[in-house]
Amino acid sequence: MNFPITDTVGAWVPHGRFVVEGQPTGPLAGLRFAAKDLFDVAGHTTGAGNPGWLATHSPATRHSDVVAQLLDAGATLMGKVLTDELAYSLHGDNLHYGTPLNARYPERVTGGSSSGSAAAVTAGLVDFALGTDTGGSTRVPASYCGLWGLRTTHGLVSARGLVPLHPSFDTATWLAADGEVFERVGAVLLPASNYTPRRLLVAQDAWDLADPIFTEPLQRVRDALARQLKVAPEGQRVAEPQGLTQWRQTYMTAGAYEGWLTHGAWIRDAQPAFSPAIAARWHNASTVTAEAAATARGAAAAMRAQVRSLVGTDGVLVLPSAASLAPRRDADPADVDAVRLRTMAITCIAGLSGLPQVSLPVRAPSGDMLGISLLGPAGSDLALIRLARTLHAEID
């Protein structure tokens, strides 16, 4: 079969040009999706963004659970799309396979590590695409490309058949340009939720980290939610007393140690070629001691409890999905890293707490699209999507 998509944005990996037909009927019948090259598809080798990984692993013998669910629901899989190497980046470039095009903003990156997923959806080549989110790898591309994205409650959606990065933080996710399609996928992958928000929380410390272009969209979302819920917003500094910079470092230390436990032996044995930035991250991960990791894990547990206590069972927290618009493709690497660290200080809130966060596309007064997020209690994912859609209809 000739691959029926003309890849105008460089989203597909060379080994990912294949089609797996979904069931002829089902709630997703007629929809086409792509899978980030971390998800197993039976008969195909998962590449994880690195040719060394592709060469040292065998074809999958079964679909990942999520791919199987979507096929059973009637969606058709249009192959595999790019990821940053082993998902260890938020930028969206790949030394081996290139930087996919952001069709909305061609001079800017898509963000990563779900870069191909975001590129394919933004260009309208598929209806939705599977991604992952460990440190922000769906929320950030959603914001950079003006898409719907979700970090799911940790453990709620199966990760079986998914190449891990930091298993304690990894989540299976998806991106869509259309809110109705986004919700339809959620209705297949997520359990029902009786979550009803009654408290509106503003993550002021996260707001402070975002560029000024986020200010008006954040205020517009806050005010619309306040009207919708008929409550007054409550300003919060989520990460007091340590601050979000320290929370980010806690996340990075705990995750790096776990990532090295997961992939260190393969990296030592296979000696894969990594881009300089990702090679540096793996080198740093190899130096994290068990003692430092234990300290970070203890701190992370306290942070998790703090956020979950703040949100409770009826809170919704409003925060930016990223710290900036997408960096330019030719941006200085030092500037890119500074943005990455600022963004991760925002995204680590959901990562550390394991809570769901929906990013909805909002237009700034400048005309730029960016992501504003709603974070809710564990398991509220589907209800949170529906809340975000109702909100979007009001402010769009």
Name the E strands within the chain.
32-36, 76-81, 128-132, 148-151, 172-176, 199-203, 233-236, 315-320, 357-363, 369-375
End-to-end CA distance of the chain: 41
Tokens representing 174?
């998806």
Helix, strand, coil: what percent of the chain each, to 5?
40, 15, 45
DSSP-assigned beta bridge partners for residue 360: 372
User: Helix crossing, 179-189 with 65-72: angle to 10°?
Assistant: 110
Residue 89 designated active-site = no
Catalytic residue among 89, 113, 143, 380: 113
Catalytic residue among 64, 115, 117, 137: 137
**Ramachandran region, residue 243 (left: φ > 0; alpha: ψ -120 to 50; beta: rest):** left
Residue 113 designated active-site = yes
DSSP-assigned beta bridge partners for residue 20: 77
* Amino acid identity, position 23: Q
What φ, ψ does residue 104 adopt, rounded to 5°? -75, -40
**Strand 199-203 vs strand 315-320: parallel, antiparallel, or unpaired?**
parallel
**Residue carrying structure tokens 């997020």:** 373
* Amino acid identity, position 341: L
Residue 294 CB contacts under 8 Å (≥ 6 apart), including other chains = none
- 258-263 contacts, C-beta under 8 A, 24 or more apart: 258/166, 258/167, 258/168, 258/169, 258/293, 259/88, 259/165, 259/166, 259/285, 260/285, 260/286, 260/288, 262/164, 262/165, 262/166, 262/167, 263/86
Residue 230 designated active-site = no
Residues known to be catalytic = 36, 113, 137
